[in-house]
Structure 1
Amino acid sequence: MVASLSLPRIMRVGRGAVEELGEVMAGLGLSRPLLVTDAFLVGTGAADRLTATLTGAGLSPRLFADTVPDPTTDSLTAGLKALEEHGADSVVGFGGGSPMDSAKALALLAVQGGRMRDYKAPRVTPGPALPVIAVPTTAGSGSEATQVTVITDSDTDEKMLCLGPAFQPLAAVIDPDLTLSMPPRLTADTGLDALTHAVEAYVSRRANPFTDGLALTAIGTIGRHLRRAYADGTDTVAREAMMLAATQAGLAFSNSSVALVHGMSRPIGAHFQVAHGLSNAMLFPAVTAFSVHGARARYADCARALGAATASDPDDLAADRLVDALRALCLDLAVPTPRSHGIDRDDWTRLTPVMAEQALASGSPANNPVVPTTEQIRELYARIYG
């Protein structure tokens, strides 16, 4: 098996790394970046501080802060206008997964044009695109390391997975200090997102030796540190560990794949405006229980890495303990069900057939150890509701 791998050319990792962003960009010969972020980071002053860092390095940045959670095709219009007006030669994605997804989409459309629907999976887009520099402020999406972006079609409410080297950041600046202000709910949801990435990358039908090591390392790190980061957001050791694990998990799934959890998660986010990490967390234990018999040895490895099983436990027992451990983790992190989150049962039931079709069409379920039917996906949606 030959694995096709794509990684950022440059990565700066560690506390204080964000201060080196200007140096990184200048070293790449870039001078006119569009800084793509959101209103929250403008409100905290973080966007202005990053703009000052870029200006201090001799660059001429322009700020674009009109990204939205779970970006849509409509939300990209103003960003494309800002890119053109600024004559931008690069895009900096600064924030969580949504600003980084927006930055990747804008970098592609600025060069290739067309609609995001033209680039949805299963198409793989090699490029060209403007250079993207990713600066994450959450420890979850791993988007700083991936050749993936997710954009919702404003006309159909379909969350479109778009992938290929065109979406791979040229550089990533990964500073855990940027995550210290994350509240507990966001810490939990993004941390469970990273854990989902790592487990799905390892059990995926497209797993490979390069991604296996990254995935297992990330699983172990998250198992030791997620509860700590959730309980005490000022725990810098836990924050640094979670940031590194999220990036490792991103590298793993970007070069392997995600699977059924993500396939089912995207429609929940699109139709009910549930944050991506939270919708993954809602699904994670039930989908793992459904899938575990398809790759017991692989799930057993995940259990041992997470600390839910020992090396002496047989695979069948270890795999079952992983499911139990995921349920316990979601309980400890107060993950709601769709019902307790406020989603109406009638709306959930009415949209379940559409969500099941969209999940299957995304392609991610085909990478799952057990490839589900549409009816099985419907049953899983019904099972997790309450």
Structure 2
Amino acid sequence: MLTYDDMNLKIGLKCDAFIPDVAVLDAALTLSMPKNIVAETGMDALTHAIECYINKNIDEFTEVLAEGAIKGLIRYLPLSYEYENYEFREKVHIYSSMAGCAFSNVGLGMAHGISHALGGRFDLSHGLLNAIALPYVLLFNSRDEKVKERLNNISSMIGNDIIEEIIKLNRKIGIPLSLKDASLDEGEFLNEFESLLENSMKGSTRVNPVNVTLDDMRIILRSIYYGKLEDLKIQS
């Protein structure tokens, strides 16, 4: 990941040479992590898994990895956050790796496009921005029938509506509902809005399962800032 300070933008570099032949998952390394890092890195991994799962490039092999990562992270991330426990941290470590394997096969979506744009300008972590953006992005994307079907599948697997479950999980692990609640200054956000809008259309937004227009993105960014999920519901 490179940050271009002159453009206030983060850009992810992708190359087969970046993919490791072996990954050593040593959960002992995670035991000293502060709670906010546990929450934010865990939600980044969950965003990887879910955006991969609803990506229209997904294949059968990747689908199994993404499904397993979603179910595992929903279950174990709050436990890993609450308790400094080796078993729980190891579970999240493994499911995070599964999510990484999955998205490297098919790509991500708009939540990452938005978080890269915001993270390039403001001093907020990537995982935090993904966690805040994810419910809004999923609600917008659910207007597509194939995406809606996949989200319904996830909801059936975990026993609750996936968007509601993410909001509940965020509350449980100290993630705010909106950018405003994350203490991002409203004046700064509005002053940078046009630049954020342009940059949010780049990167992973280009492979979002639903086409996103500039007008769509205006609504999405404002909704994420002010915490207005209802603005993204499909009007009947």
Residue matched to 2:151: 299
Q: Per-residue deviation at 1:194?
A: 0.7
Instruction: Compute the displacement of 1:347 (Å).
Output: 1.1
Structure 1 segments of 4 or more deviating over 4 A?
Answer: none
Contact kept in structure 1, 2:31 and 2:89, CA below 8 Å: yes
Contact 1:194 1:250 in 2 (8 A): yes
Q: 1:333 corresponds to which letter in structure 2?
A: I
Q: Show the counterpart of 1:236.
A: 86
8 Å Cα contact 2:9/2:117 also seen in 1: yes
Whole-angstrom CA distance in 2 between matches of 1:208 and 1:170: 21
Q: Which amino acid aligns with 2:217?
A: I
Alpha-carbon distance, 1:195 to partner: 0.6
1:209 maps to 2:49: no
RMSD between superposed Cα atoms in Å: 1.4
Give the letter for the 1:366 counterpart: R
Please state how far the C-alpha of 1:197 moved relative to its aligned partner: 0.4
Give the match for residue 124 of structure 1: none
Give me the whole-angstrom Cα distance separating, in 1, the residues matched to 2:192 and 2:56.
29
* 1:365 corresponding residue in structure 2: 205
Structure 1 residue 222 corresponds to structure 2 residue 73 = yes
SS of residue paired to 1:174: coil
SS where residue 20 of structure 2 aligns? coil
Gaps of 5+ in 1: 1-149, 310-320
- The answer to whether structure 1 residue 308 and structure 2 residue 150 are counterparts is no
Structure 1 position 382 matched with structure 2 position 222: yes
CA contact 1:281–1:335 (8 Å) conserved in 2: yes
In 2, the alpha carbon distance for the partners of 1:224 and 1:241 equals 9
Matched, 1:172 2:12: no
Aligned to 2:166: 326
Q: For each residue in 1:359-380, what CA deviation from the matched residue of structure 2 results, as whole angstroms up to 9, or x when unmatched?
A: 2122x12322222111211211
Q: Unpaired runs of 5+ in structure 2? A: 227-236
Whole-angstrom CA distance in 1 between matches of 2:20 and 2:179:
33
CA contact (8 A) 1:292 1:369 kept: no
Alpha-carbon distance in 2 for matches of 1:288, 1:156 = 27
Partner of 1:352: 193
Corresponding residue to 2:42 among 181, 191, 199 = 191
Higher relative contact order (CA 8 A, sep 6+): 2
1:174 Cα deviation after fit: 1.3
Percent sequence identity over matched residues? 31
CA contact (8 A) 2:72 2:91 kept: yes
For residues 96-175 of structure 1, the aligned pairs below 5 Å read 150-175=1-26
Contact kept? 2:46, 2:69, Cα under 8 Å: yes
Which amino acid in structure 2 is aligned with residue 161 of structure 1?
G
Matches within 5 A, 1:20-35: none
TM-score, length-normalised on structure 1?
0.56
